[in-house]
């Protein structure tokens, strides 16, 4: 486990910790293991409805293999303000983490679980917080993703009928922005500008035409 030196209540759980007997694992071991199992069985594998080749998440397997797949717990049933504040702390901690030698920062992620949240409340709370925080995350070169049972209504990039963001436990995921994130940002001018500031001079070949179409001037 990793503990934020600025706040001892801010703890990151590594996959190997799930075999231990810490109080946090004793209390929340079932949902924590459910998310790791989901990552291994879903995120790291192809899906027939995905609309492209390769795993659902191209980064999850390396993240799991190289020890940069971190879990955190936000207990209870937080309000929008409480969960936003909790996420702000984990965002700061995420930015302080050092990726192991030889592993790109794009493989680092923190999944903040809200395991006590009733599934009936998950959509409203998780979607509201994600939407509220997305702009400041993007401006910092980060992404925040929403996952919960349902699944969320957001369509996949390659198949509009596919809903890829379903997970067995409500959570918000923090990761670095990558060049392929443009489709998630293109509908908001401020988010587009933040993307172009980082990747405008080296966009992926598959996105060059779309990026050129919205580039100012």
pTM of the predicted model, to two decimals?
0.93
Confidence of residue 157 (pLDDT cuts 50, 70, 90): confident
Q: What pLDDT is attached to residue 215? A: 66
The one-character DSSP state at 41 is I
Each residue's pLDDT tens digit, 15-31: 999 999 999 999 999 99
Two structure tokens written together for 32 = 């924590």
The domain spans of the chain are 2-177, 180-217
Average pLDDT over residues 115-122: 95
Average pLDDT over residues 68-81: 97
The SS3 assignment for 109 reads strand
Burial class, 6, CB count within 10 angstroms (exposed 0-12 / middle 13-18 / buried 19+): exposed
User: How far is C-alpha 44 from the chain's CA centre?
Assistant: 14
Q: What pLDDT is attached to residue 217? A: 53
H/E run at residue 175: strand 171-176
Q: Range with the lowest mean pLDDT among 93-97, 100-104, 160-164?
A: 100-104
The one-character DSSP state at 157 is S
H/E run at residue 213: helix 208-214
- The Cα 72–Cα 113 span in angstroms is 6
């Amino acid at each position: 486990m990793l503990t934020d030196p600025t706040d001892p209540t801010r703890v990151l759980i590594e996959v190997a910790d799930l075999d231990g007997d810490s109080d946090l694992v004793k209390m929340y071991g079932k949902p924590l293991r459910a998310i790791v199992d989901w990552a291994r069985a879903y995120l790291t594998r192809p899906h027939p409805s995905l609309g492209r080749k390769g795993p659902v998440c191209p980064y999850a397997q390396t993240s799991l293999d190289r020890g940069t797949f971190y879990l955190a717990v936000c207990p209870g049933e937080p309000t929008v303000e409480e969960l936003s504040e909790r996420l702000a702390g984990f965002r700061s901690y995420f930015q302080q983490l050092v990726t192991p030698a030889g592993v790109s920062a794009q493989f680092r992620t923190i999944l903040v679980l809200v395991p006590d949240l009733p599934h009936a409340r998950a959509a409203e709370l998780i979607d509201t917080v994600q939407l509220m925080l997305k702009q400041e995350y993007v401006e910092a070169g980060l992404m925040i993703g929403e996952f919960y049972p349902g699944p969320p209504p957001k369509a996949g990039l390659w198949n509009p009928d596919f809903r890829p963001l379903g997970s067995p436990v409500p959570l918000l995921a923090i990761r670095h922005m990558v060049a392929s994130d443009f489709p998630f940002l293109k509908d908001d001018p401020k988010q587009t500008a933040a993307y172009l500031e980082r990747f405008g001079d080296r966009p992926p070949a598959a996105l060059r035409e779309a990026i050129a179409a919205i580039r100012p001037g």
